[in-house]
Structure 1
């Protein structure tokens, strides 16, 4: 921040400081086995889970003269939003040849809109759809549905110490039928799953979420094999300077530090 101010770049630079996950609860020393796991406050779970402790992280944003200072916004956004935000700021259109799951954050950050464009957020554990967050329009409720949850170890704990991180595969998870339902606006710690007896709209909420999942699934397509021979084969013309083959490109090593 000080460097941006010193170089008079603070009014031309969007700074976005955030994380992709909550604290790793199972972090263990490789030397003596001491547990150095982090802490996620009131939120359940941590790294590698889709409990709030695994995915709810703060974001700190600054752009002097463009974004209002000292404001707070609790709308759910995603790191997927970074790409369309940057593309928009560059004055370019987002690609139209694929589904872009993120949204431009600038209207929300500038206070021009009050609600995130993400009515639904789909939370995956590896390739498996684990949970869905639904923020209904014109509602204070934030519904979250879990199709399966990790098996904590020790039982009744908040982490997976036996595997050093919670896994998503058979034997390490419990599937739920019907899925678990939480209202994060009232139960951010995800302690009390709702039932048809405790939530009158239980079946309606499940129906809406299942339809959203069906619509979301239609947008998915297989990714080409990233480890195919053509992708894995070394391409010297794509190698950064300096090349090891007859100087395909030239670097100024003597001045490299000065140019940083």
Structure 2
């Protein structure tokens, strides 16, 4: 699904009797990268051991914060950056910028049903220049792309998101080695990324080290 909301808005359930209030709904996007900082916090581990891309989830889960610590979130298909979302501090809007989208099949479908897998690069995707822009608060189905005539902050949104993407990419340089190379995952299927449209789950793209 790449960066489309249909593949991102997956519900999560947390239960901790005596610590988390029952029935509370958190309508904020989070990331699997948030689990490690959360576990570190709960274990009272204050020693810095690596660059953390995630945020401690407990203030959000306990109702002490209303917003995620992620002003920007970056959405990948495999190891290809497809989209980024921006939740500005001074706005209720949540903007999503798509740089690359998968080519769904058959024409008009919302998945890759002909191939069973949505590939992440090459002829299987469309690169957008300028990128596609959506306001997820008003258009969660991402049906109506915005332009300079329909969004007053159009140029600012694209500029801010582009700068955030560059900061993000710089943060990946010279960090931990890639854990998803073929030699690391070939005999460990539980580490292999799951790409494609459910229930057709598999990944055949080349994962570069």
TM-score (norm 1): 0.66
Secondary structure of the structure 2 residue equivalent to 1:188: coil
Partner of 1:31: none
| 1:82 maps onto 2:32 in alignment | no
Partner of 2:177: 224
Trace 1:161-240 onto structure 2 (pairs within 5 A): 161-221=113-173, 223-224=176-177
Larger Cα Rg: Structure 1 or Structure 2? Answer: 1
Please state how far the C-alpha of 1:111 moved relative to its aligned partner. Answer: 1.0
Q: Is the 8 A contact 2:80 2:121 kept in 1?
A: no
Describe the superposition over 1:178-205 as per-residue Cα deviations: whole angstroms up to 9, x where unpaired: 0000000000000011011111110010
Distance 2:113 2:19 in 1: 45
Q: Is the 8 A contact 1:148 1:174 kept in 2?
A: yes
Partner of 2:9: 56
Trace 1:1-260 onto structure 2 (pairs within 5 A): 48-93=1-46, 95-96=48-49, 98-221=50-173, 223-224=176-177
Distance 1:84 1:193 in 2: 35
Partner of 1:21: none
Q: Is the 8 A contact 1:130 1:147 kept in 2?
A: yes
Point out where structure 1 has 5 or more consecutive residues left out of the alignment. Answer: 1-47, 233-260
Please state how far the C-alpha of 1:225 moved relative to its aligned partner. Answer: 6.6
Please state how far the C-alpha of 1:60 moved relative to its aligned partner. Answer: 1.1
Distance 1:180 1:174 in 2: 11
Please state how far the C-alpha of 1:162 moved relative to its aligned partner. Answer: 2.1
Q: After the TM superposition, which segments of 4 or more aligned residues of structure 1 sit over 6 Å from their partners?
A: none
Describe the superposition over 1:5-51 as per-residue Cα deviations: whole angstroms up to 9, x where unpaired: xxxxxxxxxxxxxxxxxxxxxxxxxxxxxxxxxxxxxxxxxxx4221
Q: Is the 8 A contact 1:121 1:134 kept in 2?
A: yes
Q: Is the 8 A contact 1:85 1:106 kept in 2?
A: yes
Distance 1:228 1:190 in 2: 34
Provide closer, same or farther for how the CA distance between residues 69 and 94 of structure 1 changes in structure 2, counting only shifts above 3 A: farther
Work out the number of aligned pairs and report it: 183
Q: Is the 8 A contact 1:84 1:94 kept in 2?
A: no
Provide closer, same or farther for how the CA distance between residues 83 and 225 of structure 1 changes in structure 2, counting only shifts above 3 A: closer
Distance 1:69 1:88 in 2: 22
- CA-atom RMSD in angstroms: 2.0
Partner of 2:191: none
TM-score (norm 2): 0.82
